[in-house]
Amino acid sequence: MKAIMTEQAGGIENLIMQEIAKPELNADEVLVETRAISINPADTKVKYDEAVLTQLFGPERPITLGWDIAGVVVATGAEVTRFKQGDKVFGMVNFPGHGKAYAEYVASPQSHLAAMPEGLDYTNAAATTLAALTALQALKDRVNPGDKVLIHAGSGGVGHFAIQIAKKLGAYVISTSSAKNRDFVMALGADEHIDYRTQAFEQVLTEIDLAFDTVSPEIAEKSLKVLRKGGQLVSIAMMAVPEELQLQADKLGVNVSAILVHSNGDDMNTLRDMLLEGTIKPHVSKTFEFAKLGKAHTAVESGRTVGKVVVTL
């Protein structure tokens, strides 16, 4: 099979297509013939740092990057009960860890996948994986009906799902983005929009129940100022809560959490239900052929893509 791999840390010039053997299955795994792959900022960032590559994937070289797939089950391990050959599936494989998604065939634990909704194509299914799971896991046990929720970068991959999921949970949603993406954000269901280039959100907002930072530690720190006492800040832009930020939160009487998404088939089934009922709809702004996966990385790294970038096979 063909896989796109890297021998060392660096830019897209190191992403080389190679011919390798199909993966062997463990008892609880299925072999998926890949039809689409979603590209995330996480994909693009890890490839530059040798220490991060070793931490995530060990000393093995070359490395096959990627986690988000949609495709067809072509083989099953001896203990697999959830899926059979011919099933269409989607999910985020082995995150955090070695998903090996940039390949024509991917071995995945059955517990990381869900059956694709009827009528959904592979491109949109692949788009509704890491980004959607991140939004769901950040919000599902924290947002109550009537809460005022601030979602930063609402036009991005995670943000555009977060708006829709927060609305599903009954929240009043305020979202930041550039002015050119205002209509997109409002069409997702946001109740208010803030142009981050011309407005300082921390100066105009108050009494927010939950702020969801998808951007940076600096945005997280500013977000503390808009929370009501007892409010929550959830960030995916830092691996842990810095001591200084925690001290500020304690003084203000607010809660702060840094979260990392994890593969979870039950949560994938929740997303599947949301797709079926129309609660969430992925927005795919660009697609690339498998051989041009490096260009998909470049598009994501630009920081200007709306919604998701997907590679098709």
- In this prediction the pTM is 0.96
Residue 287 has pLDDT above 90, yes or no: yes
Sign of CA dihedral 54, 58, 59, 63: negative
Q: Which two tokens stand for residue 212?
A: 């969801």
Residue 58 has pLDDT above 90, yes or no: no
* CA 90/CA 80 separation, integer angstroms: 16
Q: Which two tokens stand for residue 59?
A: 């000393």
Residue 56 has pLDDT above 90, yes or no: no
Picking from 134, 127, 181, the residue whose alpha carbon sits closest to that of residue 153 is: 181
Per-residue confidence (pLDDT) for residue 59, from 0 to 100? 87
> What does the pLDDT average to over 208-233?
97
Q: Where are the chain's structural domains? A: 2-128+282-312, 132-258
Residue 55 has pLDDT above 90, yes or no: no
**pLDDT (tens digit per residue) in 32-53:** 999 999 999 999 999 998 888 8
Beta strands across the sheet bearing 16-19 = 16-19, 2-6, 63-64
Alpha-carbon Rg for the chain, nearest whole angstrom, is 19
Which residue in this structure is represented by tokens 């890491």?
130
Longest Cα–Cα distance of the chain, Å, equals: 58
Q: Which two tokens stand for residue 148?
A: 């005022």
**pLDDT (tens digit per residue) in 64-95:** 999 999 999 999 999 999 999 999 999 999 99
Alpha carbon 148 to its chain centroid, in Å, reads: 23
CA distances from 193 to 10, 153, 225 (A): 37, 10, 18
Per-residue pLDDT band for 57 (boundaries 50, 70, 90) equals: confident
CA distances from 309 to 4, 108, 199, 237, 296 (A): 17, 22, 28, 20, 7
* CA 241/CA 190 separation, integer angstroms: 28
Class of domain 2-128+282-312: alpha beta
Q: Could you tell me which CATH number the domain at 132-258 has?
A: 3.40.50.720
Per-residue confidence (pLDDT) for residue 262, from 0 to 100? 98
Sign of CA dihedral 206, 208, 213, 218: positive
**pLDDT (tens digit per residue) in 260-283:** 999 999 999 999 999 999 999 999
DSSP sequence for 183-236: HHHHHTT-SEEEETTT--HHHH---EEEEEE-S-HHHHHHHGGGEEEEEEEEES
DSSP sequence for 50-75: HHHHHHHHTT-SSEE---EEEEEEEE
* CA 162/CA 175 separation, integer angstroms: 10
